């Protein structure tokens, strides 16, 4: 084989290696753009919240509490109290007898990041008082592991509360 031919073969080999390397890098980058969702999606998050609202709205503390992990943490800033565990949440949601007065939970905006398994919801809750708030929620194994809410008491309904900033 001539030396010129060996050089040409070497150049082709280098080109093939270069193309292969670029392809492998692109495949790696492509997988980075498709993050792991842990199988729990925006739709799953919405369904879980709907189940929680159904439990609260019907006075079914068991249904509501079952949306949480066994060791869930539930807080409402700035109150330093953190309710810990599904049994404590079952009691908080009314226990066996339910709450004396009906509850109403209404979701307004629901967002979920399947990569981080963290969601947020804007809501109106009515029990003895009416509050409008936002909750930051972490999901583990398809259930709520952490719930941290920030809310404000208001006599106004949702539309009056948000005023001209509706979306």
> Per-residue pLDDT tens for 42-98?
999 999 999 999 999 999 999 999 999 999 999 999 899 999 999 999 999 999 988
On whether both 71 and 137 belong to a single domain, the answer is yes
Identify the band that residue 37 occupies on the pLDDT scale cut at 50, 70 and 90.
low
Quote the domain boundaries for residue 79.
Answer: 42-162
* Predicted pLDDT of residue 101: 87
* Predicted pLDDT of residue 6: 42
| 167 within some domain | no
Domain at 84, CATH number = 3.10.450.50
Q: Count of domains in the chain?
A: 2
Question: Locate tokens 């226990």: which residue?
Answer: 95
| 58 within some domain | yes
Flag whether pLDDT at 2 surpasses 60.
no
On whether both 104 and 140 belong to a single domain, the answer is yes
Identify the band that residue 36 occupies on the pLDDT scale cut at 50, 70 and 90.
low
Provide, rounded to the nearest whole percent, the portion of the chain with pLDDT above 70. 77
Flag whether pLDDT at 35 surpasses 70.
no
On whether both 130 and 64 belong to a single domain, the answer is yes
Give the CA distances from residue 64 to residues 9, 47, 51, 69, 95, in Å, rounded to whole numbers and listed in that order: 69, 12, 7, 11, 10
* Predicted pLDDT of residue 135: 98
Flag whether pLDDT at 112 surpasses 80.
yes
On whether both 105 and 153 belong to a single domain, the answer is yes
On whether both 153 and 90 belong to a single domain, the answer is yes
Give the CA distances from residue 38 to residues 44, 116, 139, 140, 146, in Å, rounded to whole numbers and listed in that order: 11, 9, 10, 9, 17
């Amino acid at each position: 084989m001539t030396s010129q031919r060996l050089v040409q073969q070497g150049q082709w080999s280098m080109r093939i290696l270069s193309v292969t390397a670029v392809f492998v890098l692109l495949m790696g980058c492509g997988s980075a753009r498709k993050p792991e969702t842990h199988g729990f999606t925006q739709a799953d998050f919405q369904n879980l919240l709907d189940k929680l609202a159904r439990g609260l709205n019907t006075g079914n503390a068991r249904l509501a509490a079952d949306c949480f992990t066994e060791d869930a943490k539930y807080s409402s800033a700035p109150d330093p109290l953190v309710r810990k565990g599904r049994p404590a949440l079952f009691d908080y949601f009314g226990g066996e007898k339910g709450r004396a007065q009906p509850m109403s939970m209404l979701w307004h905006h629901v967002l979920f990041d399947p990569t981080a398994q963290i969601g947020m919801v804007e809501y109106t809750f009515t029990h003895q008082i009416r509050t409008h708030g936002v909750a930051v929620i972490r999901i583990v194994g398809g259930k709520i592991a952490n719930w941290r809410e920030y809310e404000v008491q208001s006599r106004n309904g949702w539309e009056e509360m948000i005023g001209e900033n509706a979306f």
